[in-house]
């Protein structure tokens, strides 16, 4: 799948009062589509 945007190495905080984790976040159709290691994933735009 080609995403609209992938943010690489983002600090993701889920609100559960645990430390955030650094991971990739993929956005498509205005929504978060995937969170996790997206090494092979491609997007129209990528932010590091």
Question: What strands, in cross-sheet order, belong to the sheet with 21-28?
Answer: 31-36, 21-28, 2-12, 42-47
What are the pLDDT digits (tens) for 18-42? 999 999 999 999 999 999 999 999 9
Indicate whether 12 pLDDT > 90: yes
Q: Structure pTM? A: 0.90
CA neighbours within 13 Å on the CB side: how many for 47?
A: 9
Indicate whether 7 pLDDT > 90: yes
Domains recognised in the chain with CATH numbers: 2-47 (2.30.40.10)
Q: Are 7 and 41 in contact (CB under 8 A)?
A: no
Indicate whether 47 pLDDT > 90: yes
CA distance 17 to 20: 9
| Position 1 confidence tier, pLDDT thresholds 50, 70, 90 | confident
CA distance 13 to 45: 22
């Amino acid at each position: 799948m080609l995403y609209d945007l992938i943010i690489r190495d983002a600090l993701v905080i889920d609100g559960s009062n645990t430390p955030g984790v650094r991971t990739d976040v993929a956005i498509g159709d205005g929504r978060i589509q995937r969170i996790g290691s997206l090494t092979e994933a491609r997007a129209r735009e990528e932010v590091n």
